[in-house]
Amino acid sequence: MDSLRTSTTSVLVVDDFAPWRRFVCLKLQSCPEWSVVGEASDGLDAVQKAQRLQPDLILLDIGLPISNGIEAARQIREVSPRSRILFISENHSRDIAGEALLTGARGYVVKSDAATELFPALETVLQSKRFLSARLDGHDLSVSSGNQVSHHEAGSYFDDRAFLDDVALFIGAALNIGDSAIVVATKSHRDDLLPKLKAQGLDMDAATAQGRYVALDAVDARSVFMRDGMPDPVLFMTGFGDLIVKARRAAQVKHARVAIFGEGAHLLWAEGNVEAAIQIEKLCNQLTEQYEVDILCSYFLGHVPGGMDNISYPHICAEHSAVYSR
């Protein structure tokens, strides 16, 4: 396998079927850039070893004893937030795959396809990108257990052009189908976003008057829920919960959803308040679970020393279901 990486990536392999673990370990050990630092055969053991070893990457099965892989992944994100998770399971269900990715895992590989997909998946996940097995790619993984799954994603940018394009597509897609949208951004970004939305044929004056489009200033908004430099969970959930309920009522379709864009966490990160930024992202995960909303966050890497190499960046990425870099 060709690779430009010079450092070694540590990997924890988790599966209750010993022959499979041996197969994966042998595949990894055949390449010097991968280092298997541990194995686990059940969910509890996986969480404990993830906490102790802090591996770069965890290969995780779903059908594990004691604690299944999805539950283990949720706990691993708490004890080892920098570890990237790649599910490898024989389960072909797109519902199960969707639930697995909701944990913040970066990818899902069907075991029977691992012979050809394992290494491409490893490299993709290591770059904080999402990988899906070919047999799942193209299926709508936004459906889980009969309900539409919510997403909490992040875009990492070096310039405003790509950022505005992505946000306009995200917000415009919601408004175009009759859903509602909430934008929490700086004044300059709110001003620059409007022409791009209007260029999609959207009547933004009407959407605003109807309450389907709500634009808030990022600094003003955080002053409502920040206390002593940290977000107050009750104020955050209550404030945004009320906004979401009102925006959903204003929508023009049944079973409406709300798309939320925000850059408040980035502003805190850029100011050096990393802990507050991460806590906000955790609270956003709660919003997606309680209100079935879709959230897109933005991070401007040129505004923070080190950008992607900043030690806090992986912790921020770990709080999102997917991260894109442009």
Task: Give pLDDT, residue 144.
Answer: 37
Are residues 294 and 151 in contact, defined by beta-carbon separation less than 8 angstroms? yes
Residue with tokens 């059940």: 42
Mean pLDDT, 10 residues at a time, the chain of 326 residues: 62 93 92 93 94 95 89 89 91 79 86 87 83 70 46 87 91 92 97 95 96 96 94 92 92 86 94 94 90 89 66 85 79
Which one of 143, 175, 191 terminates a domain? 143
Which one of 92, 114, 143 terminates a domain? 143
Residue with tokens 């004691």: 66
Domain with 311 in it: 150-325
Q: Are 133 and 15 found together in one domain?
A: yes
Task: Convert 114-151 into a string of H (helix), E (strand) and C (coil).
Answer: HHHHHHHHHHHHHCCCCEECCCCECECCCEECCEECCC
**CA 212 to CA 177: how far, in whole Å?**
11
Are residues 121 and 109 in contact, defined by beta-carbon separation less than 8 angstroms? yes
Q: Are 64 and 96 found together in one domain?
A: yes
Q: Are 162 and 297 found together in one domain?
A: yes
Task: Give pLDDT, residue 224.
Answer: 92
Please name the residues in contact with 6: beta carbons below 8 A apart, sequence gap of 6 or more: none
How many domains in the chain? 2
